[in-house]
């Protein structure tokens, strides 16, 4: 498939998924009294899902390139868990306020908390980077940071159970959802996602060369330290923005680049825009699906992506192994 | 005669707490293949990486008369190219994309990039593989593609770490023939080699390393002789076996 056709197909996929998402939900757009409000709410939600999906997918492309490992994802750097923890701390901080102020503050403080969480996780990681550690040590550091942040987050969630409302919000946040994402959050995250996507595209050639290993890349003139540092920074920005929009959403950063590589190849400048489009369409569709699946209420987005993503990833993995075996 | 391709003076490399190279001073000239020889752990690969500017070192290394430390990354790429023993490249890039990576840091006109890439692929005879995936090539083809990428930088000093280690005898002979053609057109090839018989047949000069020290350097025929080999490797020359092969005419 040519690049142009693929891009057209992916844009169409985003439009179709978006249209489905606008018309899907408990309330009908046929009700004239509700139509404007529903369109506004679902529009913000649709944009949030698209941006979160795009950010996580582009982050996945970057991390997989940096670690030369197609099984890597932004979560392995510890930034996803850091962003999650930042959001949880923000929720706890805002819970002391009451009524409309709390609702208003949550919308603003949540993305800031997520970003700060991602940046703190990144800051710790950069200390290790400055010490000149290899990628394996970096990987293990990310894993340890993730465990630490998840433990602190779980501790906060258990403490929050004393307040029913806060406990419920904390659990919903950790499950991942764009249902309560407002226009302010979307406006806050949008420039970060766009900047992160463009930046990773810009580092695309360097990431291509880095796939030969750091020594070969350095011998071909790549500034390996700068590439590592800036790619990590932009992955943190993308992850922080995505988490601020949708909480903990699993598997998107893993499966989207995986699914596209056999079609577009391994070149980063081709993978970045296509992954952004497919990741966005995928998350919009997952969010719409969560609204139509039978249940007492909507199925959280993180559960839908996990239910679809895990088996899909296993299938892709089996296909990859079979292709490697067949030569 | 102009500046040598490589000149080192008292080069020392310390990795962790271990001094891997001790006061190595050597020369390698354009138009020649220089073999870097020595037993396992002698510091051959470390020497090649230090000359490639990939490791911190003490002492002085000059590439084409210029201090290696003073060279910017992109200037270094124009002077030397390094091909490791094992490339970590396992991505399904098209061959032409792999060769194009040679031009990553070089700011020249597009037509110059194109000409360098095409020339390198022609010289190494991989142009017919340009649309193939790198991961689907044989070991010999992959070595040639990586050499094409090194040549596409237009550097005249090529550093090769065990270039024929994974090749069968036919591909190895053909690879050495290619290296001879390159030196005939003015390249300096500096190659870490394990097989002394290959070094004796195909290289002009040799340096011998032992425990990080340079023990001998000179014309290959003088270096690969009974006394230096006994001293460095601890083996005796056996002149009764002369089995060797060549490519068909």
User: Residue B133's closest chain A neighbor by CA?
Assistant: A265
Nearest to A211 among B81, B82, B89 (CB): B89
- The two structure tokens encoding residue A135: 């990628």
Q: With 0-12 CB in 10 A as exposed, 13-18 as middle and 19+ as buried, what is B35?
A: buried
> pLDDT tens-digit profile of A238-255?
988 998 888 778 789 988
Packing angle, helices A224-246 and A79-95, rounded to 10: 40
Q: What is the DSSP letter of B94?
A: B
The C-alpha angle B28, B31, B37, rounded to 5 degrees, equals: 40
> pLDDT tens-digit profile of A145-161?
999 999 999 999 888 88
Domains, chain A, ordered by start: 3-326 (1.10.3470.10)
Question: What integer pLDDT is reported at residue A306 of this predicted model?
Answer: 87
Please check the confidence at residue A270 and state whether its pLDDT lies above 80. Answer: yes
Query: Cβ contact (<8 Å) for B91 and A266?
Result: yes
Q: Model pTM?
A: 0.86
Nearest to A208 among B73, B101, B136 (CB): B101
Please check the confidence at residue A327 and state whether its pLDDT lies above 60. Answer: no
Question: What integer pLDDT is reported at residue A325 of this predicted model?
Answer: 61
Chain B closest-CA separation from residue A204 CA (Å): 11
Question: What integer pLDDT is reported at residue B190 of this predicted model?
Answer: 97
pLDDT classification of A103: cutoffs 50, 70, 90 = low
Contact between B132 and B164 (Cβ < 8 Å): no
Task: Name the residue with higher pLDDT: A187 or A58.
Answer: A58
Contact between A304 and A289 (Cβ < 8 Å): yes
User: Residue A217's closest chain B neighbor by CA?
Assistant: B101
Chain A CB contacts of B74 under 8 Å are 221
Cβ pairs A/B, distance under 8 A:
69
Question: What integer pLDDT is reported at residue B127 of this predicted model?
Answer: 92
Query: Cβ contact (<8 Å) for B49 and A215?
Result: yes
Contacts of A290 (CB under 8 A, 6+ apart): A298, A299, A300, A301, A303, A304
Q: Residues 108..137 of A with a Cβ closer than 8 Å to B: which?
A: none
Report the C-alpha gap between A130 and B49 in whole angstroms. 22
Query: Cβ contact (<8 Å) for A327 and B102?
Result: no
Distances (CA, A) of A225 to A110, A179, B102: 32, 39, 19
Query: Cβ contact (<8 Å) for B104 and A219?
Result: no
User: Residue A320's closest chain B neighbor by CA?
Assistant: B92
- The two structure tokens encoding residue A85: 């923890």
Please check the confidence at residue A66 and state whether its pLDDT lies above 90. Answer: no
Please check the confidence at residue A169 and state whether its pLDDT lies above 90. Answer: no
Report the C-alpha gap between A324 and B106 in whole angstroms. 35
User: Residue B153's closest chain A neighbor by CA?
Assistant: A220
User: Residue A268's closest chain B neighbor by CA?
Assistant: B93
Report the C-alpha gap between A298 and A208 in whole angstroms. 41
Q: With 0-12 CB in 10 A as exposed, 13-18 as middle and 19+ as buried, what is B200?
A: middle
Q: Residues 188..217 of A with a Cβ closer than 8 Å to B: which?
A: 205-206, 208-209, 211-213, 215-216
β-pairing, B33-37 vs B205-210, is: parallel
Please check the confidence at residue A1 and state whether its pLDDT lies above 70. Answer: no
Query: Cβ contact (<8 Å) for A216 and B89?
Result: yes
- The two structure tokens encoding residue A191: 């420039």
Q: Which fold has domain B6-86+160-233?
A: Rossmann fold (3.40.50)
- The two structure tokens encoding residue A149: 């942040």
- pLDDT values of chain B reduced to their tens digit, one per residue, 249 residues: 678 999 999 999 999 889 999 999 999 999 999 999 999 999 999 999 999 999 999 999 999 999 999 999 989 999 999 999 888 888 889 999 999 999 888 877 777 788 889 999 988 889 999 999 998 898 888 988 999 999 999 999 999 999 888 778 888 888 899 999 999 999 999 999 988 888 999 999 999 999 999 999 999 989 988 888 888 888 887 776 666 777 777
Question: What integer pLDDT is reported at residue A317 of this predicted model?
Answer: 78
Helices (H), B82-157: 95-100, 110-123, 139-151
**Mean pLDDT score, A47-76:** 88
Rg (CA), chain B: 18
Question: What integer pLDDT is reported at residue B218 of this predicted model?
Answer: 93
Chain B closest-CA separation from residue A65 CA (Å): 10
DSSP A184-211: HHHHHHHHHHHHHHHHHHHTHHHHHHHT
Chain B closest-CA separation from residue A274 CA (Å): 17
Decide: helix, strand or coil at residue B31: coil
Measured in residues, chain A has a length of: 327
Query: Cβ contact (<8 Å) for B84 and A213?
Result: yes
User: Percentages helix, strand, coil for chain B, rounded to the nearest 5?
Assistant: 40, 25, 35
Sheet holding B18-28, edge to edge: B18-28, B6-15, B58-63, B66-67
A134, A221, A260, A267: which to substitute to probe chain B, counting the most B Cβ within 10 Å? A221
Report the C-alpha gap between A239 and A84 in whole angstroms. 10
Distances (CA, A) of A64 to A75, A166, A201, A283: 11, 36, 14, 20
Chain B closest-CA separation from residue A309 CA (Å): 23
User: Residue B52's closest chain A neighbor by CA?
Assistant: A219
> pLDDT tens-digit profile of A275-314?
999 999 999 999 999 888 776 677 888 888 888 888 988 8
Contact between B21 and B80 (Cβ < 8 Å): no
> pLDDT tens-digit profile of B85-119?
888 888 889 999 999 999 888 877 777 788 889 99
Quote the longest CA-to-CA distance of chain A: 65
Report the C-alpha gap between A3 and A264 in whole angstroms. 8
Which residue(s) pair with B189 in the sheet?
A: B33, B158
Question: What integer pLDDT is reported at residue B207 of this predicted model?
Answer: 95
Question: What integer pLDDT is reported at residue A101 of this predicted model?
Answer: 61
Report the C-alpha gap between A243 and A85 in whole angstroms. 10
Phi-psi region of B167 (alpha: psi -120 to 50; beta: other; left: phi over 0): beta
User: Residue A219's closest chain B neighbor by CA?
Assistant: B82
Chain A closest-CA separation from residue B211 CA (Å): 24
Please check the confidence at residue A98 and state whether its pLDDT lies above 70. Answer: no
Question: What integer pLDDT is reported at residue A143 of this predicted model?
Answer: 85
Task: Name the residue with higher pLDDT: A268 or A188.
Answer: A268
Report the C-alpha gap between A174 and A170 in whole angstroms. 6
Question: What integer pLDDT is reported at residue A228 of this predicted model?
Answer: 87
DSSP A212-262: T-HHHHHHTT--HHHHHHHHHHHHHHHHHHHHHHHSS--SHHHHHHHHHHH
Chain A CB contacts of B93 under 8 Å are 208, 211, 265-267
Chain A CB contacts of B53 under 8 Å are 218-219
Nearest to B92 among A68, A206, A266 (CB): A266
Contacts of A46 (CB under 8 A, 6+ apart): A18, A21, A22, A284, A287
> pLDDT tens-digit profile of A114-137?
888 988 887 887 777 666 666 677
Query: Cβ contact (<8 Å) for A220 and B77?
Result: yes
The ranges assigned to domains in chain B are 6-86+160-233
- The two structure tokens encoding residue B236: 């005796």
Contact between A178 and A245 (Cβ < 8 Å): yes
Distances (CA, A) of B105 to A221, B72, B196: 5, 10, 36
Packing angle, helices A268-292 and A301-326, rounded to 10: 140
Query: Cβ contact (<8 Å) for B92 and A208?
Result: no
Nearest to A219 among B52, B92, B97 (CB): B52
Nearest to A25, CA basis, from A10, A11, A8, A45? A45
Contact between A57 and A256 (Cβ < 8 Å): yes
C-alpha dihedral sign at B139, B145, B146, B148: positive
């Amino acid at each position: 498939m040519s690049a142009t056709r693929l891009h057209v197909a992916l844009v169409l996929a985003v439009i179709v998924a978006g249209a489905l998402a606008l018309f899907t939900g408990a309330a009908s757009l046929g009700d004239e009294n509700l139509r404007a409000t529903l369109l506004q709410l679902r529009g913000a939600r649709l944009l949030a899902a698209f941006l979160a999906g795009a950010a996580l997918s582009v982050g996945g492309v970057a991390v997989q390139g940096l670690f030369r490992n197609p099984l890597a994802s932004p979560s392995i750097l510890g930034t996803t868990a850091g962003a999650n923890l930042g959001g949880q701390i923000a929720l706890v901080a805002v819970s002391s306020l009451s009524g409309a102020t709390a609702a208003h503050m949550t919308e603003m403080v949540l993305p800031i908390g997520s970003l700060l969480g991602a940046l703190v996780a990144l800051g710790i990681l950069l200390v290790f980077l400055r010490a000149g550690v290899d990628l394996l040590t970096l990987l293990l550091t990310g894993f340890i940071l993730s465990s630490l942040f998840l433990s602190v987050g779980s501790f906060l969630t258990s403490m929050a159970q004393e307040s029913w409302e806060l406990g419920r919000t904390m659990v919903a946040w950790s499950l991942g959802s764009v249902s309560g994402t407002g226009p302010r959050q979307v406006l806050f995250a949008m420039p970060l996602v766009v900047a992160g996507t463009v930046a990773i595209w810009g580092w695309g050639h360097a990431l291509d060369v880095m796939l030969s290993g750091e020594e070969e890349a350095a011998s071909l003139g790549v500034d390996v330290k700068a590439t590592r540092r800036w790619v990590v920074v932009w992955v943190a920005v993308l992850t922080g923005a995505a988490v601020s929009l949708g909480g903990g959403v699993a598997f998107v950063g893993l499966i989207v680049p995986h699914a596209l590589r056999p079609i577009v190849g391994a070149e980063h400048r081709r993978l970045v825009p296509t992954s952004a489009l497919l990741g966005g369409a995928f998350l919009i569709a997952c969010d719409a699906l969560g609204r139509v699946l039978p249940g007492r209420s909507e199925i959280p987005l993180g559960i839908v992506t996990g239910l679809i993503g895990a088996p899909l990833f296993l299938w892709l993995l089996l296909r990859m192994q079979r292709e490697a075996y067949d030569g | 005669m102009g500046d040598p391709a490589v000149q080192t003076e008292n080069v020392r490399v310390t990795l962790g707490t271990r001094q891997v190279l001790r006061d190595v001073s050597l020369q390698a000239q354009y138009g020649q293949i220089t073999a870097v020889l020595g037993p396992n752990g002698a510091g051959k690969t470390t020497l090649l990486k230090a000359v490639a500017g990939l490791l911190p070192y003490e002492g002085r290394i000059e590439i084409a008369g210029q201090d290696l430390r003073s060279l910017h990354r992109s200037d270094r790429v124009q002077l030397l190219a390094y091909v490791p023993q094992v490339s970590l490249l396992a991505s399904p890039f098209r061959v032409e994309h792999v060769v194009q990576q040679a031009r990553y840091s070089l700011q020249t006109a597009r037509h110059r990039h194109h000409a360098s890439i095409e020339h390198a692929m022609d010289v190494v005879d991989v142009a017919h593989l340009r649309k193939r995936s790198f991961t689907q090539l044989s070991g010999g083809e992959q070595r040639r593609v990586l050499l094409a990428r090194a040549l596409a930088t237009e550097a005249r000093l090529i550093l090769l770490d065990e270039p024929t280690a994974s090749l069968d005898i036919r591909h190895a002979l053909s690879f050495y023939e290619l290296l001879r053609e390159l030196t005939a057109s003015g390249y300096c090839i500096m190659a870490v080699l394990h097989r002394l018989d290959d070094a004796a047949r195909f290289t002009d000069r040799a340096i011998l390393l032992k425990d990080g020290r340079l023990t001998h350097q000179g014309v290959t025929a003088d270096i690969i002789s009974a006394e230096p080999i006994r001293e460095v490797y601890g083996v005796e020359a056996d002149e009764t076996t002369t089995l060797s092969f060549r490519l068909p005419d």
